[in-house]
Structure 1
Amino acid sequence: MTKAVELEKIPELEISTLAVERRRIVENVSRYSRDANFKKVVLTAYENRCAVTRFQLRLVDAAHILPVISTDSSDNVTNGMALSPTFHRAYDNCLIYLDETYVMRLNTEKADELRKYNLAGGINEFQLFLDKKIHLPLDINQRPRVEYIKMANKHRRIPGYV
């Protein structure tokens, strides 16, 4: 199994003396490199399968459990899961969340909001994939860390975690 490689962030002191445009290029290259490595490691760990649907079809994203915007987030495989684009967007928009038992759940508050605005078409079919344990990496060291799950649910203001 592939081990996650934490890429070093370039120390601020080393790039602080660069011209603004050069600094932006160095930061972007560093970020893209980290993003590519994160995607490769996560998709490999999940056998290129969506954790929720278990579909492969080369239509799978590497999603951060705890969003990158959080200061506690990381690009480690234990902060990632493979999701199909629809489930990735649903996760990022707090319509679904992962609980500590690795079960993907519907956020009923968000679902009710969709119903209120008459935007819940297909939600019953969507829910057929939920309330089951997700597909997990075979290597237990690559599975989502419960700490990331709890922090993510708190960050996303999931009921019961706030």
Structure 2
Amino acid sequence: MRTSARTCSGRSGRNSSAARIAVRVSPRRWWMSNFMSQFENICTQFENMAQSSPSEGERQRLGRTVRGATVGATWRLRALLQGGGATMLFWLGVTDNRWFRHVARSRSDEVNFWQPSARAPFTGLPEGTLFLFKLKAPHNHVVGGGRFVRFTRLPLVTAWEVFEQQNGASSLSELCSLISSHRAEPASLDTEIGCTVLTDVFYLRPEQWFEVGDRFNRNIMVGKKYDSTELVGASLLADLQSATNGQWVADESEVAQGGFGKPFLQRARLGQGSFRTLVIDAYQRRCAITGEHTLPVLEAAHIKPYSIEPVHHISNGMLLRSDFHKLFDAGLVTVEPDLKVRVSGRIRDRYFNGKAYYRLHGQTLAALPLESIDHPNAAYLRWHNENRFVE
């Protein structure tokens, strides 16, 4: 009997040739084949259902499949027509029920979705990515979500100072207790926790909650990333669209035009907590003027006050040691557009002291963000020189 030769991969030469042919199939043809396969599968399920008496759960499951196939096909087509740029990724995060009850009561539009350890739950998630809340058992429903801003690590006490009740607790001691309930060892105030900062947070009404069912493996402890062009991810987006009339699902223009990453941070209405964490990370946890890196004494300062310029852009901020923050706000210290420090003579005249401050007069900033777009904005610095600083 004639046998075909085997390749190094263990496959026959005939199969290997077929694989090479498959590689040459165009993306559109592959997509159409994939979609038709899903469509035939749905038709088969409908035929089987017509010949039986399906339960309510079976009807709901098939409905999710149909909606998912429709949404998935739409996103696939967008991706093909736009050169692959219309794929939307999103995250489904396992959510502590007590945390959710607290933030839902307060209707916080910015929250710290913390992890009990400093380990990041994901990698490579662009700013602006849709982040959904999935309650733990016995609910296992999607109940809301928001837009991802940043993942960072902070001591527990600093996380409380930055976000307060947006941590999902009414007090520092309650937050410490809540985090300890998820750890083998009790948490202390210095325990470093993971902080996933979210903005544009929304809360579904209980009648809008939708069950995840078998679309999420219950053995997953933290969360899972989904793709809008895959059936399961598309069905979740379809349910979210149905629950919110499409309000919280990005459209193709947002995805294709760079609505995620740095562009998102430039246009998003960030809150005070987001601003502080972004500035802390941008300055690598160092005071812009002194280079001090003791985190408990570092504060995110606005160059032009938020009451006058209501934006929380990094370029309108600097990370300053707490005494320099007070002096900066009082107009006794400023930074010129060329990033040189100026110290007012009023400190010496009024307090007969200030040698530690005058030593830095005329010096260039000791720390700056790595990305030039995050450097102190020259127009904001000029405003501070002219409207706050006193000689």
How high is the TM-score relative to the length of structure 1?
A: 0.70
**283, 288, 294: which one pairs with 1:51?**
288
* TM-fit CA distance, 1:112: 5.2
Contact 2:332/2:390, CA 8 A, preserved across alignment: no
Higher RCO (CA-CA < 8 Å; seq separation 6+): 1
Residue 39 of structure 1 corresponds to 276
1:72-111 alignment, distance < 5 Å: 72-108=309-345, 110-111=346-347
Contact 2:333/2:389, CA 8 A, preserved across alignment: no
- CA distance in 1 between counterparts of 2:390 and 2:312 reads 22
* TM-fit CA distance, 1:69: 2.3
Structure 2 runs not aligned, ≥5 long? 1-149, 151-261
Residue 25 of structure 1 corresponds to none
Richer in strand (by share)? 2
CA RMSD in angstroms comes to 2.0
Aligned AA (1:68)? Y
Residue 359 of structure 2 corresponds to 128
**142, 145, 152: which one pairs with 2:377?**
145
* TM-fit CA distance, 1:75: 0.8
SS in 2 for 1:150: helix
Aligned AA (2:331)? C
Q: Which runs of 4+ in 1 moved over 4 A?
A: none
* TM-fit CA distance, 1:81: 0.4
Contact 1:52/1:130, CA 8 A, preserved across alignment: no
> 1:81-137 CA deviation, whole Å, 9 max, x = no partner?
0000011011011111110100111122x33541xxxx233x112222332111211
Residue 65 of structure 1 corresponds to 303
Aligned AA (2:323)? T
> 1:4-47 CA deviation, whole Å, 9 max, x = no partner?
72543xxxxxxxxxxxxxxxxxxxxxxxx711000011111100
How high is the TM-score relative to the length of structure 2?
A: 0.31
- CA distance in 2 between counterparts of 1:145 and 1:81 reads 10
- CA distance in 1 between counterparts of 2:344 and 2:283 reads 24
Query: Equivalent pairs: percent with the same residue?
Result: 24
* TM-fit CA distance, 1:153: 2.1
SS in 2 for 1:136: coil
- CA distance in 1 between counterparts of 2:318 and 2:356 reads 22
- CA distance in 2 between counterparts of 1:103 and 1:138 reads 18
Residue 166 of structure 2 corresponds to none
Which stretch shows the higher mean deviation, 150-159 or 89-98?
A: 150-159
- CA distance in 1 between counterparts of 2:362 and 2:388 reads 19
Residue 387 of structure 2 corresponds to 155
> 1:25-80 CA deviation, whole Å, 9 max, x = no partner?
xxxxxxxx71100001111110010001101111210000111221x352100000
- CA distance in 2 between counterparts of 1:148 and 1:94 reads 14
Structure 1 runs not aligned, ≥5 long? 9-32
Aligned AA (1:41)? L
Residue 241 of structure 2 corresponds to none
Q: Label 1:68 to 1:120 Cα distance change in 2 as closer, same or farther (>3 A).
A: farther
* TM-fit CA distance, 1:158: 4.2
